[in-house]
């Protein structure tokens, strides 16, 4: 039987009432919300809290948005945003490849049935084990991040074979919401500078390796980029380097990977990058830049992660304590920086809301904080919640699908939350809760 999923425009039509929530979000009785037809209050009761819900239809619709906006490009979902077996399965069914950064991500996807030839392996410091696994499993492309990797990868390629590679370039473009996620400049750890000759030297070295096939250039500018302008600047600089390669080595590289970093909105009023507008402007800029230097247009590759997974996720927490301290009211929940380190790392804030009961009390500003032994364990500052917020209440945090559980830790040994898929009124467990038994089993004793 063929399963039919909603088209992106069908889902988008329902989004205005809940701008940073999955498009399937609906109000329900007694102050509840449903996502994917599943009651948030019932999901919290069934699976416990903290718990992460992922709207399958939202993930699929966002994959389709990319395929439709960039019909001639290869789109790779960036697994670092969030990966589990179901996620790999969904993006494969929607026609996307997979961008992986470790042997763990690679082998989890392969054992799910994801074809390795549709993967790209990244990393500024790939281990010998990771490179060996990538070659053994047949990864489609390996992104070379530094000159020392060139000979290392070539030495591992079996005799008579060739491995397709891309060179990651640092084009000297500052883009991204926080210094920690600006990866297109020349003063950070990723890529090869195109301004000091390092990239040009690397191109020459790769072309000298008979077991490596240089198929293109790669750049990734940063994260949470909400404007097309940096990408257009990157297109011009990367085309200039493609042109230099043809002029100097008489080699025409057929691919250009522009990475990802596309912004989403975490709170109402924040800007998200318009993917369809980005596609139109990038195609026009690429056409113009290539025409100027009489270069055939390379095939585009893209690596969105957050823009696919982020808006599809909701974190559910129980309130454990409410405390007045000076001018602040602190609402402490049963999760925090162990399942979502982004606020502590980047100072970001979210828009949690009360669900599961009708509140008539006036709204007042509170700080929603986590349970961990860090003053920086803050989920939202100055967010308005009902004045009668109390222990046992349920808070839902939208836009929680990316860089939460993928960056989760074992801090305070509280255990990582489960992941639950919702679609068509059904909730099913994808990743079980990490138990005390799991924690104990890793500690082999004295």
- Residue 330 DSSP SS3: strand
CA dist., res. 24 & res. 271, Å (int): 20
Q: Which residues are catalytic?
A: 373
**Residue ranges of domains in the chain:** 8-54+311-442, 56-308
Determine the Cα angle at 363 with ends 358 and 367, to 5°.
Answer: 110
CA dist., res. 337 & res. 321, Å (int): 17
pLDDT value of position 9: 47
CA dist., res. 170 & res. 187, Å (int): 9
- pLDDT tens digits, the chain, 446 residues: what are they? 344 444 444 444 444 568 899 999 999 999 999 999 999 999 999 999 999 999 999 999 999 999 999 999 999 999 999 999 999 999 999 999 999 999 999 999 999 999 999 999 999 899 999 999 999 999 999 999 999 999 999 999 999 999 999 999 988 775 666 565 555 455 656 789 888 889 999 999 999 999 999 999 999 988 889 999 999 999 999 999 999 999 999 999 999 999 999 999 999 999 999 999 999 999 999 999 999 999 999 999 999 999 999 999 999 999 999 999 888 899 999 999 999 999 988 888 899 999 999 988 999 999 999 999 999 999 999 999 999 999 999 999 999 999 999 999 999 999 999 999 999 999 999 999 999 999 999 999 87
pLDDT value of position 180: 56
Q: How far is CA 135 from CA 110, 154, 169, in A?
A: 13, 10, 22
CATH 3.30.310.160 matches 56-308: no
pTM (two decimals) = 0.93
User: In terms of DSSP H, where are the helices of 36-102?
Assistant: 40-47, 56-69, 85-93
- Residue 25 DSSP SS3: coil
CA dist., res. 262 & res. 310, Å (int): 11
Cis peptide before 50 (omega within 30 of 0): yes
Q: Report helix, strand and coil shares of the chain as percent, to nearest 5.
A: 35, 25, 40
CATH topology of domain 8-54+311-442: Lyase, Ornithine Decarboxylase; Chain A, domain 1 (2.40.37)
pLDDT value of position 188: 58
pLDDT value of position 11: 45
């Amino acid at each position: 039987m063929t399963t039919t999923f909603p088209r992106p425009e069908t889902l988008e039509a329902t989004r205005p009432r809940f701008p940073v929530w999955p498009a399937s979000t609906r109000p329900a009785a007694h102050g509840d919300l449903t996502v994917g037809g599943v009651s948030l209050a019932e999901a919290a009761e069934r699976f416990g809290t903290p718990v992460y819900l992922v709207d399958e239809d939202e993930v699929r619709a966002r994959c389709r948005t990319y395929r439709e906006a960039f019909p001639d490009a290869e789109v790779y979902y960036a697994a670092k945003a969030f990966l589990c077996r179901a996620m790999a399965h969904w993006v494969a069914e929607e026609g996307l490849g997979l961008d992986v950064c470790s042997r763990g991500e690679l082998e989890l996807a392969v054992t799910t049935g994801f074809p390795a030839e549709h993967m790209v392996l990244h990393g500024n410091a790939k281990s010998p084990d990771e490179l060996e696994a990538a070659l053994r499993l047949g990864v489609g492309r390996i992104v070379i991040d530094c000159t020392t990797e060139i000979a290392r990868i070539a030495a591992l390629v079996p005799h008579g074979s060739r491995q397709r590679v891309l060179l990651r370039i640092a084009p000297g473009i500052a883009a991204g919401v926080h210094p920690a996620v600006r990866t297109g400049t020349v003063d950070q750890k990723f890529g090869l500078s195109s301004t000091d000759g390092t990239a040009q030297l690397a191109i020459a070295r790769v072309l000298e390796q008979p077991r490596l096939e240089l198929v293109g250039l790669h750049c990734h500018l940063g994260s949470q980029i909400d404007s097309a302008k940096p990408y257009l600047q990157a297109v011009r600089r990367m085309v200039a380097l493609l042109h230099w390669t043809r002029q100097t080595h008489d080699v025409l590289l057929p691919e250009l990977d522009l990475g990802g970093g596309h912004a989403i909105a975490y709170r109402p009023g924040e800007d998200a990058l318009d993917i369809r507008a980005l596609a139109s402007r990038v195609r026009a800029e690429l056409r113009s830049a290539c025409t100027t230097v009489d270069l055939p247009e390379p095939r585009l590759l893209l690596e969105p992660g957050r823009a696919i997974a982020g808006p599809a996720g909701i974190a559910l927490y129980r309130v454990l304590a409410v405390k007045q301290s000076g001018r602040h009211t602190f609402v402490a929940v049963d999760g925090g920086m162990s399942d979502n380190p982004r606020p502590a790392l980047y100072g970001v804030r979210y828009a949690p809301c009360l669900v599961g009961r009708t509140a008539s009390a006036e709204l007042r500003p509170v700080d929603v904080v986590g349970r961990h032994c860090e003053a920086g364990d803050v989920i939202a500052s100055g967010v308005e919640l009902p004045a009668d917020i109390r222990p046992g209440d349920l808070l839902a945090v939208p836009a929680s699908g990316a860089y939460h559980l993928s960056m989760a830790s074992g801090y305070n040994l509280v255990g990582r939350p489960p992941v639950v898929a919702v679609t068509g009124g059904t909730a099913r467990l994808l990743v079980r809760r990490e138990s005390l038994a799991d924690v104990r089993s890793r500690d082999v004793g004295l």
